[in-house]
Structures are given as structure tokens and as C-alpha cells.
């Protein structure tokens, strides 16, 4: 029985899909004007894990993750670069795809782009205007009237009075209420635009997700996810738009992942304290990064530092070390107690830290007993999380070898074996130290000497 923490209810709830056996899930994806940072990596990995677990549980999942390819920052960046918006966005979509593939993130079933749904947005905005939930203001923009939606604030737990009391809300004279938000922006010089009943312009941000969700999953669907920072105003506004326009519940379960932090502060573009995925991957194996993310619960804050990634690398190495030379196929035995424990953890709001602990228990069991069933189970359960998918040798020899190629390393190993045979332990130790200085660790086992990257 899967339980999901529903932001809307502020508690874990038993997950009941609208259609038995099927799950419709929408996740707010990236605005593509720059490389993805670790915060984006967390969203991608977390909801990849969620979709994998749902599928592993036998559910037929339709996973939609949108791409925002039109917005203020994109326009600004394209103008700065003097390039076409579509060239800019495609370049960063490609980069995102590369990064996510390295992180073991499976492609969502549908990746709709905002620019391909402008007609749908115009339709929804028209519907909102005709129902009295939106108005065409003097400056040409179309705004959503928050007063017209009684449940405004139900997701974020905010009331309009409290929001208005905040001094930080900039007063826009064209709005009827300071909290009203823009649905359609009238065209400005050097900006792309689309024709609409309100003249040339372009959509506001929030409307795209309402439209793309409905277009691909229906007006009412199961799960909507995203980063915690989208809870307000983005998701609140999505609810207001969708429910006012469609006269039905928009989403049953709202999921929000916690932030990646640096020095206990949120990693963000505006704070400038972000690390791009590709920067981190220069130093750390992508699976280590994925493991680092899944080792923490998705709703908890996750502090980034080299020390923590080093720690994650050591831990993941322990799992791979256990499987080294085991030559087993991943195979999940659902009757085993370890599966029960793993399932119980995952069904408890995707408790990956506890699920990962089961992996270590299995590694320990296998190390002690050599029971191949434990190794298969370890690999099988880890694979559900998108972990331990490579051969141990590839993982363990994949680090920095200081420019040495494999044949050179093997030649050194052969020379050392000869020295050992001749009882020349001084020479044997010298060779090992030489390799050690280059990041190679030699290990003498019952079946000969093996090597790995430090």
C-alpha cells in the first residue's frame, strides 16, 4: 500500500489512482536558457525514482515533464547572445538530455514544450475571461483575478489577506488586486509573439503547465510534482487556473522535493551558489551523484559538498565491491524478506534512505555467505532505483588513472607478480606504491591481483 506525502493535505495519504492500475504524473521541468544545476538534477532523479517505483509496483505510468522554452530569461539570454531563441533553447535541451542520461534518468513519456501549446493556452485564457476569472487590462496584459477563486491559497496554506499584507508585493496599477498574476503579456519590442484575441503577445508562465497537463493527462490527473519553490506561486496558480477553467479538481496528489543546499543555503540561480551538473560530473561519477541524491529522503534538504560526495562514493563503492567478480544477473525475489523491507520503505513515501539500507544489508549478507541469491537480489533491488547497473569493474576502474592505460597497469601487475614469486617483496611493494601514487589500488586475492581506481 503506497503512501505519498500530499502537500495539499500536509500528510501522507494512501495513493489511490483515479483509474485502477494507471498513474498520470506531471512534473514541472526546466526553463532552458542555461545548463542544469544540481537542484535540477535532484528533481530529475527524484521523479525518475518515483516513476520507476510506480512501474515496478505494476502500475502503468504516463509521465509528463514539460520544457519551458519561452520566458523572460530565455528572451533576455538570447538577446544577449545575439542568437535565435529556438537555437538557444535547443542547445540547452540537448545539454539537459545529456546530463539526465548520465544520471540514469529515464526519458519521461512526454516532454511537451510550451511554444507548442500556445493555442491551448489562448483557449484556456479565453475560457477564464468568459467565466469572469480573468480580465484584459488597460496595458494589454490579461490577468487572473485571484478574488474570483475562493480556494486560492489552499496548496500553499496562504491567505490572500496575508499575502497582500506582505510589503514585498510590487504594486502594479493595471492589476485589480496586487496578487493577480499575468496570463498573457502583450508584445514588447524585440520579443517573440503570437496572435491572440488580445493582440500580439506571449503567455505568462503559470498557464503553460495547466494547459500541458490537461492536454496530455486530462483535466484531472493523479500526481503533480516539482521543486518546493514552485509550491507558491506557480502551483497555487496552476490550481486556480485549471479548476476555474475546467470546473473540476486539477490534481489529487501534489509532491514537492526539497532543495539542494550549499553551506545550508538554498542552491539557486539568484544566489549564484549553484554548481552545474556537468561541473560536478567532471569530478564525480554520475552514479555517485545519483546515489548521493537517493541516499536522502526526497523531501529533506540535501547539502552539497565535496566531502559528502566523497562519502557517497565510498558507500557506493562498497556495494560495487561486494558484487565484484560475482557474475550475477539482477533478479528480484519478491518472496524474500529483503524485498518486503525494500517495498515497505519505498511504499512509505519513497523512503529511499531506508531502501538503500536494505542494499547494504544484502551486501553484507553476500560478503559473509557468498550466497548468489543475495547478490542477485542486491543488484535487482538496486536496479529499481537506477543503481548498480554497470559492471563492478567498469565502475571501480572508471576513476582517474592519471593517464595510465589498462595495458600499462596490467604490465606493472605482471611484473609485481613475478617479483612476488621471487620473494622480492621490496620490489613488489615498490610497484604497488608507484601505482598507488597514480591513483591505482592493487588488491591481491585468492584468484590473483586486481586493480581499481582509488
Residues 37-66 that bind RNA (CB under 7 A): 37, 39-40, 42-43
Residue with smaller CB distance to RNA, 19 or 422? 422
Size of interface with RNA, in residues (CB under 7 A): 83
The answer to whether 150 touches 162, Cβ cutoff 8 Å, is no
Three cell numbers written together for 237: 496558480
CB of 38 to RNA, least distance (A): 7
State which of residues 132, 301, 325, 398 lies at the interface with RNA (CB under 7 A): 301
State which of residues 115, 196, 257, 376 lies at the interface with RNA (CB under 7 A): 257
Residue with smaller CB distance to RNA, 197 or 353? 353
Q: How far apart are CA 96 and CA 82, in angstroms?
A: 22
3-state DSSP call for residue 203? strand
Pairing of strands 201-203, 181-186: antiparallel
Q: How far apart are CA 79 and CA 186, in angstroms?
A: 18
State which of residues 4, 114, 267, 288 lies at the interface with RNA (CB under 7 A): 267
Which span sits near RNA by CB under 7 A: 85-93, 110-118, 308-316, 374-382? 308-316
CB of 83 to RNA, least distance (A): 20
Q: Considering all CA atoms of the chain, what is the largest pairwise distance in Å, rounded to the nearest integer? A: 92
CB of 444 to RNA, least distance (A): 4
Determine if 443 is a binding residue for RNA (CB under 7 A): yes
State which of residues 429, 438, 439, 453 lies at the interface with RNA (CB under 7 A): 429
Determine if 438 is a binding residue for RNA (CB under 7 A): no
- Per-residue x/- marks for RNA, 203-242, CB under 7 A? --x--------------------xxxxxxxxx--------
Residues 345-364 that bind RNA (CB under 7 A): 348, 351, 353-354, 356-357, 360-361, 363-364
Phi-psi sector, 317: left (phi>0), alpha (psi -120 to 50), beta? alpha
Degrees to nearest 5, angle at CA 374 with 368 and 375: 95
Determine if 168 is a binding residue for RNA (CB under 7 A): yes
Sheet holding 22-31, edge to edge: 60-68, 22-31, 221-227, 251-257
CB of 247 to RNA, least distance (A): 26
Q: What phi, psi does 251 have (nearest 5°)?
A: -140, 140
Q: How far apart are CA 302 and CA 46, in angstroms?
A: 12
Which span sits near RNA by CB under 7 A: 151-159, 190-198, 279-287, 401-409? 151-159
Strands (E), 228-368: 251-257, 260-262, 265-266, 302-304
CB of 275 to RNA, least distance (A): 10
CB of 226 to RNA, least distance (A): 4
- Per-residue x/- marks for RNA, 101-140, CB under 7 A? ----------------------------------------
Residue 233 CA: distances (Å) to CA of 121, 207, 229, 433: 18, 12, 8, 58
Pairing of strands 22-31, 221-227: parallel
Q: What phi, psi does 234 have (nearest 5°)?
A: -55, -55
Which span sits near RNA by CB under 7 A: 56-64, 83-91, 266-274, 373-381? 266-274
Q: How far apart are CA 345 and CA 235, in angstroms?
A: 28
Q: Give me the half-sphere count of Cα atoms (radius 13 Å) on the Cβ side of residue 328.
A: 22
Sheet holding 134-136, edge to edge: 134-136, 142-144, 181-186, 201-203
Q: Give me the residue label for grid cell 552545474.
A: 276
Residues 13-42 that bind RNA (CB under 7 A): 28-31, 37, 39-40, 42
Residue with smaller CB distance to RNA, 21 or 292? 292
State which of residues 98, 111, 311, 389 lies at the interface with RNA (CB under 7 A): 311
Residues 368-397 that bind RNA (CB under 7 A): 368
Determine if 421 is a binding residue for RNA (CB under 7 A): no
Residue with smaller CB distance to RNA, 83 or 162? 162
Identify the CA nearest to 291 among candidates 385, 378, 199, 366. 385
State which of residues 407, 445, 447, 448 lies at the interface with RNA (CB under 7 A): 445
Residue with smaller CB distance to RNA, 157 or 197? 157
State which of residues 114, 385, 428, 435 lies at the interface with RNA (CB under 7 A): 428
Q: Give me the half-sphere count of Cα atoms (radius 13 Å) on the Cβ side of residue 179.
A: 22
Amino acid at each position: 500500500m503506497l503512501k505519498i506525502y500530499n502537500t495539499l493535505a500536509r500528510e501522507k495519504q494512501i495513493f489511490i489512482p483515479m483509474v485502477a492500475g494507471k498513474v498520470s504524473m506531471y512534473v514541472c521541468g526546466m526553463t532552458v536558457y542555461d545548463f542544469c544545476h544540481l537542484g535540477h538534477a535532484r528533481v530529475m532523479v527524484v521523479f525518475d525514482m518515483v516513476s520507476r517505483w510506480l512501474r515496478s509496483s505494476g502500475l502503468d505510468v504516463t509521465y509528463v515533464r514539460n520544457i519551458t522554452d519561452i520566458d523572460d530569461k530565455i528572451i533576455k539570454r538570447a538577446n544577449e547572445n545575439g542568437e535565435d531563441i529556438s537555437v538557444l533553447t535547443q542547445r540547452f535541451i540537448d545539454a539537459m538530455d545529456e546530463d539526465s542520461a548520465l544520471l540514469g534518468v529515464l526519458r519521461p513519456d512526454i516532454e511537451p514544450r510550451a511554444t507548442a501549446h500556445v493555442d491551448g493556452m489562448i483557449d484556456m485564457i479565453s475560457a477564464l475571461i468568459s467565466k469572469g476569472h480573468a480580465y484584459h487590462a488597460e496595458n494589454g496584459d490579461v490577468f487572473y483575478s485571484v478574488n474570483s477563486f475562493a480556494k486560492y491559497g489552499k496548496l500553499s496554506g496562504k491567505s490572500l489577506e496575508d499575502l497582500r499584507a506582505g510589503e514585498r508585493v510590487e504594486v502594479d496599477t493595471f492589476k485589480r488586486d496586487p496578487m493577480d498574476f499575468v496570463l498573457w503579456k502583450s508584445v514588447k519590442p524585440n520579443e517573440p509573439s503570437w496572435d491572440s484575441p488580445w493582440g500580439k503577445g506571449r503567455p505568462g508562465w503559470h498557464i503553460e503547465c495547466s494547459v500541458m497537463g490537461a492536454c496530455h493527462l486530462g483535466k484531472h490527473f493523479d500526481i503533480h510534482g516539482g521543486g518546493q519553490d514552485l509550491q507558491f506561486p506557480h502551483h497555487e496558480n496552476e490550481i486556480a487556473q485549471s479548476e476555474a477553467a475546467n470546473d473540476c479538481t486539477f490534481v489529487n496528489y501534489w509532491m514537492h522535493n526539497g532543495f539542494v543546499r550549499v553551506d545550508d543555503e538554498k542552491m539557486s540561480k539568484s544566489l549564484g551558489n549553484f554548481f552545474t551538473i556537468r561541473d560536478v560530473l567532471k569530478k564525480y561519477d554520475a552514479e555517485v551523484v545519483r546515489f548521493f541524491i537517493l541516499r536522502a529522503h526526497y523531501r529533506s534538504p540535501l547539502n552539497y559538498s565535496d566531502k559528502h560526495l566523497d562519502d557517497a562514493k565510498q558507500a557506493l563503492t562498497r556495494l560495487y565491491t561486494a558484487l565484484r567478480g560475482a557474475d550475477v544477473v539482477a533478479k528480484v525475489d519478491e518472496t524474500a524478506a529483503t524485498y518486503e523491507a525494500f517495498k515497505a520503505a519505498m511504499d512509505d513515501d519513497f523512503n529511499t534512505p531506508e531502501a538503500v539500507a536494505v542494499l547494504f544489508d544484502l551486501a553484507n549478507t553476500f560478503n559473509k555467505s557468498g550466497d548468489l541469491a543475495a547478490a542477485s537480489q542486491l543488484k535487482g533491488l538496486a536496479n529499481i532505483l537506477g543503481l548498480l547497473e554497470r559492471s563492478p569493474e567498469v565502475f571501480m576502474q572508471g576513476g582517474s588513472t592519471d593517464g595510465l592505460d589498462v595495458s600499462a597497469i596490467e604490465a606493472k601487475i605482471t611484473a609485481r607478480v613475478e617479483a612476488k614469486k621471487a620473494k622480492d617483496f621490496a620490489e613488489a611493494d615498490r610497484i604497488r606504491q608507484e601505482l598507488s601514487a597514480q591513483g591505482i589500488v592493487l588488491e591481491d586475492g585468492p584468484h590473483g591481483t586486481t586493480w581499481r581506481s582509488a
